[in-house]
Amino acid sequence: MGGTLDGKAALVTGGSRGIGAAIVRRLAADGAEVTFTYVSNEGAAQEVVSLVKAAGGRARAVQADQADLAGLPKLFALAAEATGGLDILVCNAAAAMVTPIADVTEAAYDELMAANVKGPFFALQQAGAVLRDGGRVINLSTLNTALPGPGISLYAASKAALEQFAAVAAREYGPRGITVNCVSPGATDTDMFRNANPPEAADMMVGMTALGRVGQPADIADVVAFLAGPDGRWITGQNLRVTGGLLI
């Protein structure tokens, strides 16, 4: 297998299912050596590895919780060992919570912010030390930072933080040719979307979307691959809303 990412090494957090799994498969299809993390579902992670290998690509799964900062250096070292460096970081792993502001506890606040903000921030810091010149960082945000709704105060705020991290890091890492961007999916057919929304939400979103359907994980993965590849070299500090026209 060969492609635009031949010889590149990528690290994808949260790559065992949904959008993350699609990103792993697409980057591997483009030739990257992909390391991805999962928290607990080893079976799903190994299924992704098997699918990548069956297609002629290279991927490996590493059990890691991005809220656990102590394991970050080892994780980045593992991702870099096959090619002697790291070229691409995709911060995809995230926790979701739908709770009215009045019912959010301090413990829930700390847990979600550790997973969605603190972990990605220090991964971004680690990337600055490990990425080769000309590298890529892509943070997965959400349409909900522009289209918020009841119950998602912490989720939307945590993703808004990733957007600001990307904007600042684009300035700081730019002199080395490293691009830093966000991709913000709209309604996408994933377990997270189904678990966080009532059954009728998908039909409602279809009616609101210019292209007339709910997104698929591959729709998002294709945009991530574009930013990770050579054609994305002149885009940095941006937030690409990949929504099929849910927000125009």
Rounded CA separation 143/55 (Å): 32
Neighbours of 224 (CB within 10 A): 28
CA-based nearest residue to 63, from 43, 80, 81 = 43
Active site residue 155: yes
Give the span between the Cα atoms of 159 and 148, in whole angstroms. Answer: 11
Please report where in the chains the tokens 């998002």 appear, as a residue: 220
Residue numbers annotated as active site: 155
